[in-house]
Structure 1
Protein backbone atom coordinates (compact mmCIF):
# COMPACT_ATOMS: atom_id res chain seq x y z
CA UNK A 1 0.00 0.00 0.00
CA UNK A 2 1.25 3.48 -0.84
CA UNK A 3 2.35 5.42 2.22
CA UNK A 4 0.22 8.58 2.45
CA UNK A 5 1.82 10.07 5.54
CA UNK A 6 1.43 13.84 5.40
CA UNK A 7 4.49 16.03 5.88
CA UNK A 8 4.91 19.52 7.23
CA UNK A 9 7.03 21.11 4.46
CA UNK A 10 8.35 23.70 6.91
CA UNK A 11 9.68 21.08 9.35
CA UNK A 12 13.01 20.55 7.57
CA UNK A 13 14.64 20.61 4.12
CA UNK A 14 14.09 16.84 3.95
CA UNK A 15 10.36 17.23 4.65
CA UNK A 16 10.09 20.00 2.07
CA UNK A 17 11.88 17.84 -0.51
CA UNK A 18 9.51 14.94 0.16
CA UNK A 19 6.36 17.07 -0.03
CA UNK A 20 7.48 18.68 -3.29
CA UNK A 21 8.33 15.29 -4.75
CA UNK A 22 4.84 13.99 -3.96
CA UNK A 23 3.14 17.14 -5.24
CA UNK A 24 4.97 17.23 -8.56
CA UNK A 25 4.69 13.47 -9.06
CA UNK A 26 0.94 13.62 -8.58
CA UNK A 27 0.67 16.65 -10.87
CA UNK A 28 2.45 14.59 -13.52
CA UNK A 29 -0.14 11.82 -13.05
CA UNK A 30 2.47 9.26 -12.02
CA UNK A 31 2.27 6.61 -9.32
CA UNK A 32 5.27 5.82 -7.17
CA UNK A 33 5.93 2.63 -9.13
CA UNK A 34 5.71 4.47 -12.44
CA UNK A 35 8.14 7.15 -11.33
CA UNK A 36 10.42 4.54 -9.83
CA UNK A 37 10.55 2.74 -13.17
CA UNK A 38 11.57 5.97 -14.89
CA UNK A 39 14.25 6.66 -12.26
CA UNK A 40 15.52 3.05 -12.19
CA UNK A 41 14.61 2.64 -8.54
CA UNK A 42 11.85 0.98 -6.51
CA UNK A 43 8.47 2.42 -5.65
CA UNK A 44 9.44 1.86 -2.05
CA UNK A 45 12.41 4.23 -2.36
CA UNK A 46 10.21 6.92 -3.91
CA UNK A 47 7.73 6.46 -1.05
CA UNK A 48 10.45 6.62 1.62
CA UNK A 49 11.81 9.87 0.20
CA UNK A 50 8.31 11.33 -0.10
CA UNK A 51 7.72 10.59 3.58
CA UNK A 52 11.15 11.88 4.69
CA UNK A 53 12.24 8.43 5.83
CA UNK A 54 15.11 8.31 3.34
CA UNK A 55 17.58 10.99 2.30
CA UNK A 56 17.78 11.50 -1.48
CA UNK A 57 21.12 11.39 -3.27
CA UNK A 58 22.33 13.96 -5.78
CA UNK A 59 22.11 11.36 -8.55
CA UNK A 60 18.47 10.62 -7.64
CA UNK A 61 17.72 14.35 -7.66
CA UNK A 62 19.27 14.88 -11.09
CA UNK A 63 17.26 11.99 -12.54
CA UNK A 64 14.14 13.31 -10.85
CA UNK A 65 14.57 16.76 -12.37
CA UNK A 66 14.97 15.20 -15.80
CA UNK A 67 11.95 12.93 -15.36
CA UNK A 68 9.59 15.63 -14.07
CA UNK A 69 11.19 18.46 -16.10
CA UNK A 70 11.46 20.69 -13.05
CA UNK A 71 14.30 22.87 -14.27
CA UNK A 72 16.75 21.66 -11.64
CA UNK A 73 14.57 22.23 -8.56
CA UNK A 74 15.55 19.01 -6.81
CA UNK A 75 19.21 19.22 -7.79
CA UNK A 76 19.36 22.60 -6.08
CA UNK A 77 17.29 21.47 -3.11
CA UNK A 78 19.32 18.34 -2.38
CA UNK A 79 22.26 20.49 -1.29
CA UNK A 80 20.17 21.93 1.54
CA UNK A 81 18.90 18.47 2.42
CA UNK A 82 22.38 17.00 2.70
CA UNK A 83 23.67 20.00 4.64
CA UNK A 84 20.85 19.46 7.15
CA UNK A 85 22.19 15.95 7.74
CA UNK A 86 25.48 17.25 9.12
CA UNK A 87 25.75 17.22 12.93
CA UNK A 88 23.73 20.11 14.34
CA UNK A 89 26.78 21.60 16.05
CA UNK A 90 28.73 21.48 12.77
CA UNK A 91 26.15 23.12 10.48
CA UNK A 92 27.05 26.69 11.43
CA UNK A 93 30.70 26.01 10.60
CA UNK A 94 29.79 24.38 7.26
CA UNK A 95 27.77 27.46 6.37
CA UNK A 96 30.70 29.78 7.11
CA UNK A 97 33.14 27.43 5.36
CA UNK A 98 31.04 27.77 2.21
CA UNK A 99 31.28 31.58 2.41
CA UNK A 100 35.01 31.80 3.13
CA UNK A 101 37.42 33.19 0.58
CA UNK A 102 40.53 31.79 2.32
CA UNK A 103 40.67 28.63 4.44
CA UNK A 104 43.80 27.76 6.41
CA UNK A 105 43.77 24.42 8.20
CA UNK A 106 46.21 22.53 10.38
CA UNK A 107 45.42 18.84 10.87
CA UNK A 108 47.22 16.51 13.25
CA UNK A 109 45.70 13.10 12.42
CA UNK A 110 43.25 13.28 9.52
CA UNK A 111 42.98 14.77 6.05
CA UNK A 112 40.84 17.93 6.10
CA UNK A 113 37.22 17.16 5.16
CA UNK A 114 37.27 19.21 1.95
CA UNK A 115 40.24 17.16 0.71
CA UNK A 116 38.98 13.68 1.65
CA UNK A 117 38.03 11.03 -0.88
CA UNK A 118 34.68 9.33 -0.43
CA UNK A 119 36.29 6.06 0.66
CA UNK A 120 38.50 7.83 3.22
CA UNK A 121 35.51 9.78 4.55
CA UNK A 122 33.56 6.54 4.88
CA UNK A 123 36.36 4.95 6.88
CA UNK A 124 36.64 7.99 9.18
CA UNK A 125 32.91 8.33 9.76
CA UNK A 126 32.45 4.58 10.06
CA UNK A 127 34.88 4.37 12.97
CA UNK A 128 32.16 5.66 15.25
CA UNK A 129 28.85 6.81 13.85
CA UNK A 130 25.16 6.65 14.58
CA UNK A 131 22.48 6.61 11.92
CA UNK A 132 22.82 6.17 8.17
CA UNK A 133 26.50 6.05 7.22
CA UNK A 134 25.74 6.55 3.51
CA UNK A 135 23.94 9.79 4.31
CA UNK A 136 26.74 11.05 6.54
CA UNK A 137 29.31 10.36 3.83
CA UNK A 138 27.14 12.06 1.20
CA UNK A 139 26.77 15.11 3.45
CA UNK A 140 30.54 15.37 3.89
CA UNK A 141 31.22 15.01 0.18
CA UNK A 142 28.52 17.60 -0.54
CA UNK A 143 30.63 20.16 1.36
CA UNK A 144 33.30 19.74 -1.30
CA UNK A 145 31.08 21.25 -4.00
CA UNK A 146 32.44 24.66 -3.02
CA UNK A 147 35.72 23.56 -4.61
CA UNK A 148 34.02 23.38 -8.00
CA UNK A 149 32.67 26.93 -7.94
CA UNK A 150 33.83 29.45 -10.49
CA UNK A 151 35.63 31.28 -7.68
CA UNK A 152 36.51 28.63 -5.09
CA UNK A 153 38.15 29.53 -1.77
CA UNK A 154 41.91 29.45 -1.51
CA UNK A 155 42.80 26.47 0.69
CA UNK A 156 46.12 26.21 2.46
CA UNK A 157 46.52 23.00 4.44
CA UNK A 158 49.36 22.09 6.78
CA UNK A 159 49.15 18.39 7.59
CA UNK A 160 51.21 16.57 10.17
CA UNK A 161 53.25 13.72 8.69
CA UNK A 162 51.11 11.50 10.93
CA UNK A 163 48.18 12.18 8.59
CA UNK A 164 50.05 10.37 5.82
CA UNK A 165 51.11 7.43 7.95
CA UNK A 166 47.95 6.86 10.01
CA UNK A 167 46.36 4.05 7.99
CA UNK A 168 42.67 4.83 7.60
CA UNK A 169 40.54 2.33 5.70
CA UNK A 170 43.40 0.13 4.50
CA UNK A 171 46.15 0.36 1.91
CA UNK A 172 43.94 0.95 -1.12
CA UNK A 173 41.98 3.73 0.57
CA UNK A 174 45.17 5.44 1.74
CA UNK A 175 46.91 5.09 -1.61
CA UNK A 176 43.91 6.66 -3.35
CA UNK A 177 43.69 9.41 -0.72
CA UNK A 178 47.34 10.38 -1.05
CA UNK A 179 47.03 10.34 -4.83
CA UNK A 180 44.04 12.64 -4.43
CA UNK A 181 46.11 15.06 -2.33
CA UNK A 182 48.71 15.19 -5.08
CA UNK A 183 46.00 15.85 -7.67
CA UNK A 184 44.48 18.61 -5.54
CA UNK A 185 47.93 20.10 -5.14
CA UNK A 186 47.94 20.75 -8.89
CA UNK A 187 45.07 23.22 -8.53
CA UNK A 188 46.44 26.73 -8.22
CA UNK A 189 44.13 27.58 -5.31
CA UNK A 190 45.04 24.54 -3.18
CA UNK A 191 48.37 24.42 -1.33
CA UNK A 192 49.43 21.53 0.92
CA UNK A 193 52.43 21.46 3.23
CA UNK A 194 53.53 18.54 5.38
CA UNK A 195 54.88 19.16 8.87
CA UNK A 196 57.53 16.43 9.22
CA UNK A 197 58.17 14.49 12.40
CA UNK A 198 61.66 16.00 12.40
CA UNK A 199 60.11 19.40 13.20
CA UNK A 200 59.87 18.25 16.81
CA UNK A 201 57.90 20.48 19.19
CA UNK A 202 55.79 22.92 17.18
CA UNK A 203 53.06 25.55 17.45
CA UNK A 204 50.28 23.06 16.71
CA UNK A 205 50.84 20.64 19.59
CA UNK A 206 47.54 21.74 21.15
CA UNK A 207 45.63 20.22 18.23
CA UNK A 208 43.99 20.87 14.87
CA UNK A 209 42.39 24.19 14.00
CA UNK A 210 41.02 26.14 11.04
CA UNK A 211 41.17 29.83 10.15
CA UNK A 212 38.46 31.25 7.89
CA UNK A 213 38.80 34.61 6.17
CA UNK A 214 35.97 36.47 4.43
CA UNK A 215 35.43 39.46 2.21
CA UNK A 216 32.59 40.94 4.29
CA UNK A 217 32.40 38.95 7.53
CA UNK A 218 34.73 38.85 10.57
CA UNK A 219 37.50 36.24 10.38
CA UNK A 220 36.93 33.06 12.38
CA UNK A 221 38.89 30.44 14.31
CA UNK A 222 37.42 26.94 14.50
CA UNK A 223 38.50 24.10 16.79
CA UNK A 224 36.95 20.80 17.89
CA UNK A 225 36.98 18.63 20.97
CA UNK A 226 35.66 15.08 21.15
CA UNK A 227 32.09 16.36 21.67
CA UNK A 228 31.58 19.30 19.33
CA UNK A 229 33.14 22.24 17.50
CA UNK A 230 33.90 25.76 18.69
CA UNK A 231 33.87 28.81 16.43
CA UNK A 232 34.84 32.33 17.45
CA UNK A 233 35.32 35.69 15.78
CA UNK A 234 37.27 37.02 18.75
CA UNK A 235 40.07 39.13 17.25
CA UNK A 236 42.62 38.12 19.88
CA UNK A 237 41.88 34.43 19.27
CA UNK A 238 42.21 34.89 15.52
CA UNK A 239 45.49 36.76 15.93
CA UNK A 240 46.85 33.95 18.11
CA UNK A 241 45.68 31.34 15.62
CA UNK A 242 47.27 33.23 12.73
CA UNK A 243 50.58 33.49 14.60
CA UNK A 244 50.57 29.76 15.34
CA UNK A 245 49.74 29.02 11.72
CA UNK A 246 52.60 31.20 10.49
CA UNK A 247 54.99 29.21 12.70
CA UNK A 248 53.58 25.92 11.41
CA UNK A 249 54.01 26.99 7.79
CA UNK A 250 57.59 28.03 8.52
CA UNK A 251 58.38 24.67 10.15
CA UNK A 252 56.68 22.62 7.43
CA UNK A 253 58.25 21.38 4.22
CA UNK A 254 57.77 23.52 1.13
CA UNK A 255 54.83 22.73 -1.14
CA UNK A 256 57.18 20.98 -3.58
CA UNK A 257 59.00 19.02 -0.87
CA UNK A 258 55.64 18.08 0.64
CA UNK A 259 54.46 16.65 -2.67
CA UNK A 260 57.62 14.57 -2.83
CA UNK A 261 57.04 13.22 0.68
CA UNK A 262 53.40 12.38 -0.07
CA UNK A 263 54.49 10.49 -3.19
CA UNK A 264 57.22 8.70 -1.25
CA UNK A 265 54.89 7.57 1.55
CA UNK A 266 52.27 6.52 -0.99
CA UNK A 267 54.81 4.31 -2.77
CA UNK A 268 56.70 2.91 0.22
CA UNK A 269 53.83 2.37 2.66
CA UNK A 270 50.73 1.95 0.50
CA UNK A 271 52.08 0.43 -2.68
CA UNK A 272 50.93 -2.94 -3.93
CA UNK A 273 52.26 -5.75 -1.75
CA UNK A 274 52.87 -9.24 -3.15
CA UNK A 275 50.85 -12.06 -1.62
CA UNK A 276 52.52 -15.38 -0.78
CA UNK A 277 51.38 -16.74 -4.15
CA UNK A 278 52.88 -13.79 -5.99
CA UNK A 279 49.65 -11.91 -6.64
CA UNK A 280 49.38 -8.23 -5.77
CA UNK A 281 47.57 -7.25 -2.61
CA UNK A 282 46.21 -3.78 -1.90
Structure 2
Protein backbone atom coordinates (compact mmCIF):
# COMPACT_ATOMS: atom_id res chain seq x y z
CA UNK A 1 0.00 0.00 0.00
CA UNK A 2 1.39 3.40 -0.96
CA UNK A 3 2.14 5.63 2.02
CA UNK A 4 0.63 9.10 1.72
CA UNK A 5 2.33 11.80 3.76
CA UNK A 6 -0.24 13.62 5.90
CA UNK A 7 -0.53 17.34 5.28
CA UNK A 8 -1.41 20.03 7.80
CA UNK A 9 -2.77 22.97 5.78
CA UNK A 10 -2.56 25.20 8.86
CA UNK A 11 1.16 24.68 9.37
CA UNK A 12 2.27 27.34 6.91
CA UNK A 13 1.28 28.96 3.60
CA UNK A 14 3.56 26.46 1.85
CA UNK A 15 1.77 23.52 3.52
CA UNK A 16 -1.60 25.02 2.62
CA UNK A 17 -0.50 25.34 -1.02
CA UNK A 18 0.61 21.68 -1.03
CA UNK A 19 -2.66 20.59 0.55
CA UNK A 20 -4.71 22.41 -2.10
CA UNK A 21 -2.52 21.08 -4.89
CA UNK A 22 -3.02 17.49 -3.72
CA UNK A 23 -6.76 17.98 -3.13
CA UNK A 24 -7.37 19.30 -6.63
CA UNK A 25 -5.07 16.76 -8.27
CA UNK A 26 -6.82 13.85 -6.58
CA UNK A 27 -10.24 15.33 -7.42
CA UNK A 28 -9.15 15.31 -11.06
CA UNK A 29 -8.21 11.63 -10.78
CA UNK A 30 -4.56 12.22 -11.66
CA UNK A 31 -1.40 10.77 -10.19
CA UNK A 32 1.55 13.03 -9.49
CA UNK A 33 3.29 11.65 -12.56
CA UNK A 34 0.26 12.20 -14.79
CA UNK A 35 -0.10 15.79 -13.65
CA UNK A 36 3.63 16.30 -14.12
CA UNK A 37 3.39 15.06 -17.70
CA UNK A 38 0.56 17.51 -18.42
CA UNK A 39 2.37 20.57 -17.03
CA UNK A 40 5.84 19.51 -18.23
CA UNK A 41 7.34 18.85 -14.80
CA UNK A 42 8.38 15.60 -13.17
CA UNK A 43 6.00 13.72 -10.93
CA UNK A 44 8.71 13.88 -8.29
CA UNK A 45 8.63 17.67 -8.31
CA UNK A 46 4.83 17.66 -8.01
CA UNK A 47 5.21 15.40 -4.98
CA UNK A 48 7.84 17.64 -3.41
CA UNK A 49 5.60 20.68 -3.79
CA UNK A 50 2.63 18.79 -2.35
CA UNK A 51 4.65 17.84 0.76
CA UNK A 52 6.11 21.34 1.23
CA UNK A 53 9.64 20.21 0.42
CA UNK A 54 9.90 22.35 -2.73
CA UNK A 55 8.78 25.90 -3.43
CA UNK A 56 6.29 26.30 -6.29
CA UNK A 57 7.04 28.90 -8.93
CA UNK A 58 4.61 31.24 -10.62
CA UNK A 59 4.90 29.34 -13.93
CA UNK A 60 4.29 26.00 -12.21
CA UNK A 61 1.23 27.44 -10.46
CA UNK A 62 -0.23 28.87 -13.66
CA UNK A 63 0.23 25.59 -15.53
CA UNK A 64 -1.35 23.54 -12.76
CA UNK A 65 -4.26 25.98 -12.45
CA UNK A 66 -4.89 25.56 -16.16
CA UNK A 67 -4.57 21.78 -16.02
CA UNK A 68 -6.83 21.31 -13.00
CA UNK A 69 -9.27 24.13 -13.67
CA UNK A 70 -8.77 25.69 -10.24
CA UNK A 71 -9.73 29.20 -11.32
CA UNK A 72 -6.30 30.64 -10.57
CA UNK A 73 -6.25 29.46 -6.93
CA UNK A 74 -2.61 28.36 -6.86
CA UNK A 75 -1.44 31.41 -8.79
CA UNK A 76 -3.00 33.57 -6.09
CA UNK A 77 -1.55 31.48 -3.28
CA UNK A 78 2.00 31.49 -4.59
CA UNK A 79 2.50 35.16 -3.71
CA UNK A 80 1.57 34.43 -0.09
CA UNK A 81 3.88 31.40 -0.10
CA UNK A 82 6.81 33.43 -1.39
CA UNK A 83 6.29 36.22 1.12
CA UNK A 84 6.21 33.69 3.96
CA UNK A 85 9.62 32.39 2.87
CA UNK A 86 11.28 35.78 3.21
CA UNK A 87 13.39 36.40 6.31
CA UNK A 88 11.07 37.29 9.18
CA UNK A 89 12.62 40.73 9.54
CA UNK A 90 11.90 41.53 5.88
CA UNK A 91 8.33 40.26 5.58
CA UNK A 92 6.75 43.50 6.78
CA UNK A 93 8.83 45.45 4.26
CA UNK A 94 7.69 43.19 1.42
CA UNK A 95 4.10 43.82 2.48
CA UNK A 96 4.68 47.58 2.44
CA UNK A 97 6.20 47.34 -1.05
CA UNK A 98 3.24 45.36 -2.33
CA UNK A 99 0.78 48.00 -1.08
CA UNK A 100 2.75 51.10 -2.07
CA UNK A 101 1.58 53.24 -4.97
CA UNK A 102 4.97 54.96 -5.20
CA UNK A 103 8.40 53.55 -4.38
CA UNK A 104 11.52 55.71 -4.25
CA UNK A 105 14.72 53.74 -3.78
CA UNK A 106 18.35 54.72 -3.35
CA UNK A 107 21.06 52.05 -3.49
CA UNK A 108 24.68 53.03 -3.18
CA UNK A 109 26.53 49.97 -4.47
CA UNK A 110 24.14 47.27 -5.63
CA UNK A 111 21.23 46.87 -8.02
CA UNK A 112 17.96 46.87 -6.02
CA UNK A 113 16.32 43.48 -5.56
CA UNK A 114 13.26 44.49 -7.56
CA UNK A 115 15.46 44.76 -10.67
CA UNK A 116 17.96 41.95 -10.18
CA UNK A 117 18.29 39.19 -12.76
CA UNK A 118 18.26 35.59 -11.60
CA UNK A 119 22.03 35.19 -12.09
CA UNK A 120 22.81 38.46 -10.28
CA UNK A 121 20.49 37.64 -7.38
CA UNK A 122 22.02 34.18 -7.02
CA UNK A 123 25.52 35.67 -6.93
CA UNK A 124 24.51 38.22 -4.27
CA UNK A 125 22.66 35.72 -2.08
CA UNK A 126 25.37 33.07 -2.36
CA UNK A 127 28.36 35.16 -1.27
CA UNK A 128 28.53 33.62 2.21
CA UNK A 129 25.66 31.16 2.45
CA UNK A 130 24.84 28.84 -0.46
CA UNK A 131 22.33 26.69 1.42
CA UNK A 132 18.91 26.51 -0.25
CA UNK A 133 20.27 29.00 -2.77
CA UNK A 134 17.82 28.15 -5.54
CA UNK A 135 14.80 28.57 -3.28
CA UNK A 136 16.12 31.82 -1.80
CA UNK A 137 16.73 33.15 -5.30
CA UNK A 138 13.22 32.16 -6.36
CA UNK A 139 11.78 33.98 -3.35
CA UNK A 140 13.71 37.16 -4.11
CA UNK A 141 12.68 37.18 -7.77
CA UNK A 142 9.04 36.59 -6.81
CA UNK A 143 8.98 40.07 -5.26
CA UNK A 144 9.34 41.51 -8.75
CA UNK A 145 5.79 40.47 -9.57
CA UNK A 146 4.58 43.70 -8.02
CA UNK A 147 5.98 45.46 -11.11
CA UNK A 148 3.70 43.30 -13.27
CA UNK A 149 0.46 43.98 -11.40
CA UNK A 150 -2.52 45.36 -13.28
CA UNK A 151 -1.93 48.67 -11.52
CA UNK A 152 1.79 48.61 -10.62
CA UNK A 153 3.43 51.21 -8.40
CA UNK A 154 5.34 54.15 -9.78
CA UNK A 155 9.01 53.37 -9.08
CA UNK A 156 11.94 55.78 -9.11
CA UNK A 157 15.42 54.38 -8.51
CA UNK A 158 18.73 56.16 -7.98
CA UNK A 159 21.75 53.86 -7.90
CA UNK A 160 25.39 54.67 -7.37
CA UNK A 161 27.73 54.21 -10.32
CA UNK A 162 29.55 51.55 -8.30
CA UNK A 163 26.55 49.26 -8.83
CA UNK A 164 27.30 49.30 -12.57
CA UNK A 165 31.01 48.68 -12.23
CA UNK A 166 31.29 46.23 -9.32
CA UNK A 167 31.52 42.87 -11.08
CA UNK A 168 29.06 40.58 -9.32
CA UNK A 169 28.81 37.08 -10.74
CA UNK A 170 31.25 37.76 -13.57
CA UNK A 171 31.06 39.63 -16.90
CA UNK A 172 28.23 37.60 -18.39
CA UNK A 173 26.04 38.10 -15.34
CA UNK A 174 26.81 41.82 -15.25
CA UNK A 175 26.03 42.27 -18.92
CA UNK A 176 22.67 40.59 -18.38
CA UNK A 177 22.01 42.76 -15.35
CA UNK A 178 22.80 46.00 -17.16
CA UNK A 179 20.64 44.87 -20.05
CA UNK A 180 17.80 44.42 -17.56
CA UNK A 181 18.25 47.98 -16.33
CA UNK A 182 18.18 49.29 -19.89
CA UNK A 183 14.94 47.42 -20.55
CA UNK A 184 13.17 50.09 -18.47
CA UNK A 185 14.52 52.95 -20.57
CA UNK A 186 11.14 53.68 -22.16
CA UNK A 187 8.99 52.66 -19.20
CA UNK A 188 6.31 55.07 -17.99
CA UNK A 189 6.21 53.48 -14.52
CA UNK A 190 9.90 52.87 -13.76
CA UNK A 191 12.61 55.53 -13.84
CA UNK A 192 16.26 54.70 -13.21
CA UNK A 193 18.97 57.28 -12.62
CA UNK A 194 22.66 56.73 -11.89
CA UNK A 195 24.50 58.87 -9.38
CA UNK A 196 27.95 59.21 -11.02
CA UNK A 197 31.28 59.16 -9.23
CA UNK A 198 31.76 62.70 -10.50
CA UNK A 199 28.95 63.88 -8.18
CA UNK A 200 31.43 63.77 -5.32
CA UNK A 201 29.96 64.17 -1.82
CA UNK A 202 26.20 63.61 -1.92
CA UNK A 203 23.10 63.31 0.22
CA UNK A 204 23.13 59.51 0.14
CA UNK A 205 26.49 58.99 1.82
CA UNK A 206 24.69 57.90 5.00
CA UNK A 207 23.62 54.76 3.14
CA UNK A 208 20.82 53.24 1.10
CA UNK A 209 17.14 53.86 1.89
CA UNK A 210 13.62 53.63 0.45
CA UNK A 211 10.49 55.74 0.63
CA UNK A 212 7.04 54.18 0.24
CA UNK A 213 3.93 56.24 -0.44
CA UNK A 214 0.35 54.99 -0.25
CA UNK A 215 -3.11 56.12 -1.27
CA UNK A 216 -4.65 56.33 2.19
CA UNK A 217 -1.81 55.67 4.64
CA UNK A 218 1.10 57.88 5.74
CA UNK A 219 4.40 57.49 3.86
CA UNK A 220 7.11 55.20 5.19
CA UNK A 221 10.88 55.70 5.25
CA UNK A 222 12.84 52.46 5.26
CA UNK A 223 16.46 51.71 6.09
CA UNK A 224 18.10 48.35 6.49
CA UNK A 225 20.76 46.97 8.81
CA UNK A 226 22.41 43.57 8.97
CA UNK A 227 19.48 41.14 9.20
CA UNK A 228 17.19 43.93 10.37
CA UNK A 229 14.61 46.25 8.84
CA UNK A 230 13.78 49.74 10.08
CA UNK A 231 10.54 51.16 8.61
CA UNK A 232 9.16 54.31 10.19
CA UNK A 233 6.20 56.60 9.60
CA UNK A 234 7.61 59.36 11.81
CA UNK A 235 6.81 62.55 9.85
CA UNK A 236 10.12 64.27 10.62
CA UNK A 237 12.14 61.23 9.55
CA UNK A 238 10.12 60.78 6.37
CA UNK A 239 10.53 64.49 5.59
CA UNK A 240 14.30 64.29 6.12
CA UNK A 241 14.67 61.29 3.81
CA UNK A 242 12.41 62.87 1.20
CA UNK A 243 14.65 65.94 1.26
CA UNK A 244 17.72 63.76 0.78
CA UNK A 245 16.06 61.96 -2.11
CA UNK A 246 15.28 65.25 -3.84
CA UNK A 247 18.98 66.14 -3.65
CA UNK A 248 20.00 62.71 -4.97
CA UNK A 249 17.69 63.01 -7.96
CA UNK A 250 19.11 66.45 -8.71
CA UNK A 251 22.71 65.22 -8.46
CA UNK A 252 22.11 62.07 -10.53
CA UNK A 253 22.37 61.83 -14.31
CA UNK A 254 19.23 62.42 -16.36
CA UNK A 255 17.31 59.38 -17.55
CA UNK A 256 18.82 59.75 -21.02
CA UNK A 257 22.39 60.19 -19.74
CA UNK A 258 21.90 57.28 -17.35
CA UNK A 259 21.03 54.97 -20.24
CA UNK A 260 24.05 56.23 -22.15
CA UNK A 261 26.37 55.56 -19.20
CA UNK A 262 25.00 52.04 -18.78
CA UNK A 263 25.68 51.37 -22.47
CA UNK A 264 29.22 52.73 -22.13
CA UNK A 265 29.95 50.53 -19.10
CA UNK A 266 28.58 47.50 -20.94
CA UNK A 267 30.83 48.18 -23.92
CA UNK A 268 33.94 48.98 -21.88
CA UNK A 269 33.74 46.34 -19.14
CA UNK A 270 31.25 43.68 -20.22
CA UNK A 271 31.50 43.63 -24.01
CA UNK A 272 30.79 40.90 -26.50
CA UNK A 273 33.99 38.97 -25.77
CA UNK A 274 32.99 37.55 -22.43
CA UNK A 275 35.26 35.33 -20.36
Q: Is 2:128 the counterpart of 1:108?
A: no
What TM-score does the superposition give when structure 1 sets the normalisation length?
Answer: 0.92
Aligned to 1:135: 135
- Deviations 1:174-221, CA, capped at 9 Å, x for gaps: 111111111112101211111111111111111100011111111001
Aligned to 1:276: none
Identify the range of structure 1 (50-59 vs 103-112) with the bigger mean alpha-carbon deviation: 50-59
Aligned to 1:31: 31
- The SS at the match of 2:183 is helix
Distance 2:95 2:198 in 1: 36
Aligned to 1:179: 179
Aligned to 2:9: 9
Query: Quick check: 2:89–2:227 contact (8 Å CA) kept in 1?
Result: no
- The SS at the match of 1:185 is coil
Paired residues, number: 275
C-alpha spacing 1:233/1:3, structure 2 compared with 1 (3 Å): farther
Aligned to 1:200: 200
Q: Is 2:267 the counterpart of 1:271?
A: no
- Deviations 1:3-31, CA, capped at 9 Å, x for gaps: 52222212211010111112122222222
- The SS at the match of 1:17 is helix
Query: Quick check: 1:3–1:51 contact (8 Å CA) kept in 2?
Result: no
Aligned to 1:227: 227
C-alpha spacing 1:271/1:68, structure 2 compared with 1 (3 Å): same
Runs of at least 5 residues in structure 1 that lack an aligned partner in the other structure: 274-280
Distance 1:182 1:160 in 2: 15
Aligned-pair distance for 1:246? Answer: 1.2
Distance 1:66 1:154 in 2: 31
Aligned to 1:168: 168
Query: Quick check: 1:3–1:47 contact (8 Å CA) kept in 2?
Result: no
Distance 2:143 2:13 in 1: 16
Query: Quick check: 2:7–2:15 contact (8 Å CA) kept in 1?
Result: yes
Identify the range of structure 1 (29-38 vs 63-72) with the bigger mean alpha-carbon deviation: 29-38
Aligned to 1:244: 244
Aligned-pair distance for 1:230? Answer: 1.1
Aligned-pair distance for 1:32? Answer: 2.4
Distance 2:184 2:51 in 1: 39
- The SS at the match of 1:216 is coil
- The SS at the match of 2:184 is helix
* Root mean square deviation of aligned Cα: 1.6
Structure 1 segments (4+ residues) deviating >4 Å: none
Runs of at least 5 residues in structure 2 that lack an aligned partner in the other structure: none
